[in-house]
Structure 1
Amino acid sequence: MACFIIGAGSFYGLPVPVRDTDTVIAADGGWRVCRELSLTPSLLVADFDSLDAVPEFDHILRLPVEKDDTDMIRAVKEGFARGETEFHLLGGMGGRRTDHTLANMQTLAYIARHGGRGWLYGSGERFTAICDGGEIMLPAKKSGILSVFCLGADAEGVTIEGAQYPLADAALTADFPLGVSNHFIGQAVRVAVRRGCLLIGICDKE
């Protein structure tokens, strides 16, 4: 099972098919995308700053406009409450709101620190995060760009195996982009971190 959260940002298509057992949550303006895809979400989470009107729908969690949670991270919390641990965040990048793109990248760290795996999708690119002893195995690709950044404080014990530029027990700091523009070379890639959080980006374009 997986949880698909569809936001109000640019939508680049479904990365994988939505199964009957999956949970779909619309985050505010993501409701329109669900309608276009003929998807009926399990829940609409919104403060209605991206929708012109409140739709006729039985499962709405209405949020105040003035709040600490973004619609996206509140939708993630609702997914966790339903027992989900795999999250696909769609409509969370692009558009005019780069601040929301950054917020959604932080949301990936929230998911990782709460025992889940989150993916944030753009146009031909996707991001995930690992934290504090976490690791991820990425399938082999003949080409493509791999970028790894610390997310928040400096990250220690960073290991990258199987990519063009490996790292072993290294540090990635918040003020120098050492991990940008690595490359897949036809091998599975392992990324791990001992302490801190890593934002991992995969771009299919060279």
Structure 2
Amino acid sequence: MAVNRVAVIAGGDLTDTELDLIRTGTNFIITADAGAMQLEKAGIIPDLAVGDFDTTGISYMDRLRKKGVPVLSLPEEKAVTDMHFALSCAVERKPDEILILGAMGGARFDHTMANVGLLEWLDEQGIKAVIIHRTNRIRLMSGPGKMTFTSIDFKYVSLLPVSKIVSGIRTDGLKYKLAGESLYRGDTRGISNELVKVPAVVNIQEGICLVVESRDRIGE
């Protein structure tokens, strides 16, 4: 069965692997501000571009419109970020999953943190989402819940509590096994577990945590 996947692209750098995901693995592409410029370099035309375009310059909107791209212009002073608004547009399409790219690694750490925080907002909307950037893949898990890992492309798995306590954690296929235990926000016990087999599984009973899959190098 085909997955209804929407890609939302911010202005960060994109790898060839990420560009392939956009070309072959998505049904609809939305860019936030300079995300459209990143796609243009790769010869990809978005289905919708949103933002205040303070990064690219206002004239860039006309360039997109001439290419037939629908543009939603946002004021520079607003209550949400361009990325948040773009994700709102993605949610309206009722996707099975939202793929978020170009959202990490920029000069503005506050925007990076805000983008990661939006995973919780998406979870509240009932939407699965994943942030992918070079050496990391980030998802949010809320209990009771189960997450399965089917490849070892990202061999390290870290569980970072968002709620004060994440309890009833059970793992299978990870080097350091958890058997009904708890992790606490601010503690580092859940960092850098490792996949030893696939499929591997993490279950949690209560709480909310970020699941960060990592590798030290691209193509490791």
Common topology (TM > 0.5): yes
Q: What residue is the counterpart of 1:6 in the other structure?
A: 9
Match status 1:40 vs 2:45: yes
Q: 2:88 aligns with which of 71, 77, 81?
A: 77
The structural deviation recorded for 1:68 is 2.7
Gaps of 5+ in 2: none
Match of 1:103 among 93, 100, 114: 114
Q: Which amino acid aligns with 2:177?
A: P
Deviations 1:126-169 (A, max 9, x none): 11111132221111428721111112433222222210012122
Flag the 1:153–1:76 CA change in 2: closer, same or farther, 3 A: farther
CA distance in 2, matches of 1:20, 1:200: 22
- Contact 2:176-2:194 within 8 A present in 1 as well: yes
Return the offset for 1:110.
Answer: 1.9
2:157 touches 2:213 (CA, 8 Å); kept in 1? yes
Question: Which one is further off, 49-58 or 3-12?
Answer: 49-58
Retained in 2: the 8 A contact 1:140–1:184? no
What is the DSSP-based 3-state SS (H/G/I as helix, E as strand, rest coil) of the residue aligned with 1:55?
Answer: helix
Alpha-carbon separation, structure 1, partners of 2:179 and 2:52 = 45
**Residue in structure 1 matched with residue 150 of structure 2 by the alignment:** 139
TM-score by length of 1: 0.89
Q: Deviations over 1:147-197 (max 9, x none)?
A: 111124332222222100121222221111111010111232212222221
Partner of 2:76: 65
Deviates more, 1:139-148 or 1:105-114: 139-148
Higher helix share: 2
Paired residue type of 1:40: I
Aligned counterparts of 1:38 and 1:152: Cα–Cα separation in 2? 41
The answer as to whether partners of 1:130 and 1:192 remain within 8 angstroms in 2 is: no
Structure 1: runs of 5 or more not aligned: none
1:38 positional shift: 1.7
Q: Hey, what does 1:88 align to over in structure 2?
A: 99
SS in 2 for 1:33: helix
- More divergent stretch after superposition (186-195 vs 30-39): 186-195
- Kindly state the Cα deviation for residue 73 of structure 1 after the two structures are TM-superposed: 2.0
| Residue of structure 2 equivalent to 1:55 | 61
- Residue 128 of structure 1 corresponds to 139
Q: Which amino acid aligns with 2:61?
A: P
> Aligned pairs, how many?
206
Tell me how far 1:40 sits from its aligned partner.
1.5
CA distance in structure 1 between the partners assigned to 2:189 and 2:8 by the alignment: 31
1:154 maps to what in 2?
165
Structure 1 vs Structure 2 CA RMSD:
2.1
Instruction: Tell me which amino acid in the other structure corresponds to 2:172.
Output: E
Alpha-carbon displacement from aligned partner over 1:50-108 (angstroms, at most 9, x marks no partner): 22124222512222222232211221111110121311111101021121111111112
Identity of aligned residues (%): 26
